[in-house]
Amino acid sequence: MAGTKSFLAKPNELDKQWWLVDASDAVVGRLASEIAMVLMGKHTPKYTPHVDTGDFVVVINCEKIRFTGNKMANKTYTWFSGYTGLRTETAEHRLNRAPELIIKEAVRRMLPKNKLGVDMLSKLKVYKGDAHPHQAQNPQPLKFEAVSN
């Protein structure tokens, strides 16, 4: 087996695809984990851990996502504003205020915590409603099996 070599992808020989995901009636965590896999490139056989082999993902209808159980009222999002104390808000308030942040933060926390993860997250585009400015890239619809349980 001396002639067998492992395949390692090189950044300049990868072609990135664009995928379109409809978040209507999708569970937040399940949708985020599937999107993170596509952004990392684990859905292709060319996956290489130290290279960004993932594709672009456009998420539409982000305001129609759902939480399971009592998370809509009980789940809180916290962040530091620079002043003393933390800012907090419930999932219901954030869904009304900025639904894009819910999906973006859920996906961000599932990506690698390094410079490569920042590059992967920049390929995620999240929009309210059906309209998005990426029609020229011709994104293909991407359907996940376990997302809308």
CA distance 117 to 52: 9
Per-residue pLDDT of the chain (149 residues; tens, 9 = 90+): 567 788 899 988 889 999 999 999 999 999 999 999 999 999 999 999 999 999 999 999 999 999 999 999 999 999 999 999 999 999 999 999 999 999 999 999 999 999 999 999 999 999 999 999 999 999 999 988 766 65
Distances (CA, A) of 134 to 17, 58, 87, 99, 119: 12, 8, 33, 19, 18
Return the pLDDT at 33.
96
Return the pLDDT at 96.
96
CA distance 129 to 24: 10
Question: What domains sit in the chain, N to C, each tagged with a CATH number?
Answer: 17-66+99-141 (3.90.1180.10)
Closest CA relative to residue 126, chosen from 27, 29, 58: 58
What six digits make up the tokens of 108?
A: 């961000």
